[in-house]
Structure 1
Amino acid sequence: MNQTAATTEQDIILTPNAAKRVAAIAEKQGKAAILRLAVEGGGCSGFQYRFGLSDSIEADDIAVEESGVTLVVDEISLDLVRGSAVDFVESLGGSAFQVTNPNAASGCGCGSSFSI
């Protein structure tokens, strides 16, 4: 995994499985393979994850690369997800990007919100 100079190995990880899924979505939509993870207030546990394709990397973004796909996180969100891994999982309940966040004290059943 290649990372910008502003990140360390422990900041955040994009798994190969997630990178593969982002690449497929980006190709289908004709966009750059840049996945943006943001943390917003709300959800049933206090904070919620937001994923979306991004057209560019902003000056205050932390970026990590895996298999030609870039994961970007703004500095404020990074404080809440530092040390996390972003994966793509498929199960009987459906498929989704999933964040394994060591900072989360609790989460909700759907996995899209958490508390610190």
Structure 2
Amino acid sequence: MSISITPAANQRMRQFLEQTPAAAGVRFGVKKTGCSGFAYVVDLAETAGTDDQTFQIDGVPVIVDAKALPLVDGTVIDFQRQGLNASFVFHNPNATGECGCGESFTVG
């Protein structure tokens, strides 16, 4: 299992965790949605569930549900600022297609 985070994403995740010290970590996963099938989810996790895997990635606890693992294995999470917009950006080798707006993806 491999998930990577860039220095920019690491810094942003640490900021979120510092603001919520009770959080167990950053939850990374997917949900069914969008025109292509799946959308990424990044949020603070209050706890880790029994089906969750916790990975320490460069000092950041990243929590992933076991069902999402095959869909996100190998993903690199980045954080980018463009003008007034800032967001996490995902480079997923499992994605075989994305919708035109880039909000959802398909796996083969």
2:72 to 81, 91, 94: 81
Q: Which portions of structure 1, spanning 4 or more consecutive aligned residues, are displaced by more than 4 angstroms?
A: none
Map 1:1-116; keep pairs closer than 5 Å. Answer: 8=1, 11-32=2-23, 34-92=25-83, 94-116=85-107
5+ residue gaps, structure 1, are 1-7
| Cα deviation, residue 38, structure 1 | 1.7
Alpha carbon RMSD of aligned pairs, Å? 1.9
Query: Contact between 2:24 and 2:48, CA under 8 Å: does it hold in 1?
Result: no
Deviates more, 1:97-106 or 1:11-20: 11-20
1:59-92 Cα offsets, whole Å, 9 max, x none, are 3222222343111111111111111111111123
5+ residue gaps, structure 2, are none
Query: Contact between 1:15 and 1:66, CA under 8 Å: does it hold in 2?
Result: no
Paired residues in the alignment total 107
| Cα deviation, residue 93, structure 1 | 6.2
Query: Contact between 1:39 and 1:49, CA under 8 Å: does it hold in 2?
Result: yes
Query: Contact between 1:63 and 1:71, CA under 8 Å: does it hold in 2?
Result: yes
Query: Contact between 1:48 and 1:113, CA under 8 Å: does it hold in 2?
Result: yes
| Cα deviation, residue 111, structure 1 | 3.0
